[in-house]
Amino acid sequence: MGQSAVSELFGQLMRFGMVGVVTTGLYALVYSPLAKYQVTSPQVANICGYLVAMATGYVLHSRWSFRGHGSRDNPVRTTSRFFLVSLVSYALNAFWVFLLTDSRMFDGEWWWPLLPIVLVTPLVIFALNRRWVFG
């Protein structure tokens, strides 16, 4: 991998991280009060957070994080792939919520899933977006 490719990858990762901070923050702002105050179940709160983060993420990642990377000649393909990857993100986050808050599993506090949601899920999603969605 040449210096230019490394620089491009680093720039994408930095932009993806910045957008990730925004979308994860939006997710947490939606999920947290719904789950903490038991407005709904943690899984429904997760769906609500996911929908807000997904819509925001698509716009920001397609226009900024991966700008100039890959081909944009088929927007239907890019959009459908982004949606599929976002379902992977949702499934991972649903898994963390189930594993860490469900009474049949760790039965932890409402905030426990936020740790892997912030630290693990974004790395998986970056790799999928870079390689498959916007590649």
- Which token pair is 83? 């949606």
In terms of phi and psi (left: phi > 0; alpha: psi -120 to 50; beta: otherwise), the region of 56 is: alpha
| Model pLDDT, residue 135 | 81
Q: Give the pLDDT score at 35.
A: 92
| Terminal C-alpha separation, the chain | 16
Give the pLDDT score at 39: 96
What pLDDT does residue 48 have? 95
CA distance linking residue 14 with residue 84, whole number of Å:
23
CA distances from 102 to 42, 44, 95, 98 (A): 9, 13, 10, 5
Note down the domain range covering 77. Answer: 3-133
Evaluate whether 19 touches 62 at the Cβ level (below 8 Å).
no
Q: What is the pTM of this model?
A: 0.73
Per-residue pLDDT of the chain (135 residues; tens, 9 = 90+): 688 888 888 889 999 999 989 998 999 999 999 999 999 999 999 899 989 999 999 999 988 988 878 777 788 998 899 999 999 988 998 999 999 999 999 999 999 998 998 889 988 999 999 999 988
What is the largest distance, in Å, between two alpha-carbon atoms of the chain?
51
Residue 100 CA to residue 62 CA, distance in Å, equals 32
Count structural domains, the chain.
1
Contact 114, 97 (CB under 8 A): no
